[in-house]
């Protein structure tokens, strides 16, 4: 019985200690947005959704207009709409421009804004895509070089085979002459 009490005490102690260490792994509490900030974010997301649902010609027209607006007034809200709502398949803003806009959004957002983690994730994903595309280009170039080398080697092999066939023909004719001379 005394052993059971010791085990229960040890188990209780370990449980309390592990709960205390779990607190250190909890994410730090960020500032909660004010209702005004939340409403602004919500409006931005609603507006983005409505832009994304537009038909293609209207979206392209809107994209051009927002790009002009962004050039005159570099507002992160416009950049957000360009990147997240109008940029399916990079048909509004190319990848390089998208990366620039994402970085500008990151610097414009306050560190404790809920949208920041989404933007950072998008930025990391796009960087990874660019890295993979770069690797694909390198592999394609390497593949083309290998194909060219293979074609050259194939041609050289055909030339060597033709020379071997010519030498075999010469050898055959020499052997026939020798056989004819021995027969006489």
DSSP letters for 132-168: HHHHHHHHHHHHHHHHHHHHHHHHHHHHHHHHHHHHH
* pLDDT tens, the chain, 184 aa long: 555 556 555 655 666 655 554 445 455 555 555 667 788 888 888 888 888 888 888 988 998 999 999 999 988 888 988 888 877 778 888 888 888 999 988 888 877 677 888 888 889 998 999 999 999 999 999 999 999 999 999 999 999 999 999 999 999 999 998 888 887 6
Q: How far apart are CA 82 and CA 51, in angstroms?
A: 10
Q: Is residue 33 part of a domain?
A: no
For residue 55, the enclosing domain spans 41-138
Q: What was the pLDDT predicted at 116?
A: 85
Q: What was the pLDDT predicted at 12?
A: 54
* Domain count of the fold of the chain: 1
Q: What was the pLDDT predicted at 84?
A: 86
Q: Is residue 132 part of a domain?
A: yes
Q: Is residue 105 part of a domain?
A: yes
Q: Is residue 154 part of a domain?
A: no
pTM of the model: 0.59
Q: How far apart are CA 147 and CA 145, in angstroms?
A: 5
Q: What was the pLDDT predicted at 108?
A: 86
Q: Is residue 55 part of a domain?
A: yes
């Amino acid at each position: 019985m005394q052993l059971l009490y010791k085990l229960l005490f040890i188990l209780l102690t370990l449980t309390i200690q592990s709960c205390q260490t779990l607190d250190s792994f909890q994410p730090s509490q960020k500032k909660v947005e004010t209702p005004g900030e939340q409403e602004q974010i919500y409006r931005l997301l609603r507006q983005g959704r409505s832009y994304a649902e537009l038909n293609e010609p209207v979206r392209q027209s809107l994209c051009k207009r927002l790009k002009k607006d962004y050039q005159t007034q570099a507002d992160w809200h416009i950049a957000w709409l360009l990147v997240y709502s109008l940029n399916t398949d990079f048909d509004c803003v190319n990848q390089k421009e998208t990366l620039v806009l994402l970085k500008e959004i990151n610097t414009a957002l306050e560190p404790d804004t809920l949208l920041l983690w989404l933007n950072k994730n998008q930025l990391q994903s796009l960087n990874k895509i660019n890295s993979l595309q770069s690797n694909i280009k390198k592999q394609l170039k390497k593949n083309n070089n290998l194909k060219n080398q293979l074609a050259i080697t194939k041609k050289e092999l055909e030339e060597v085979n033709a020379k071997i066939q010519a030498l075999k023909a010469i050898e055959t004719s020499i052997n026939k002459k020798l056989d004819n001379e021995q027969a006489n």
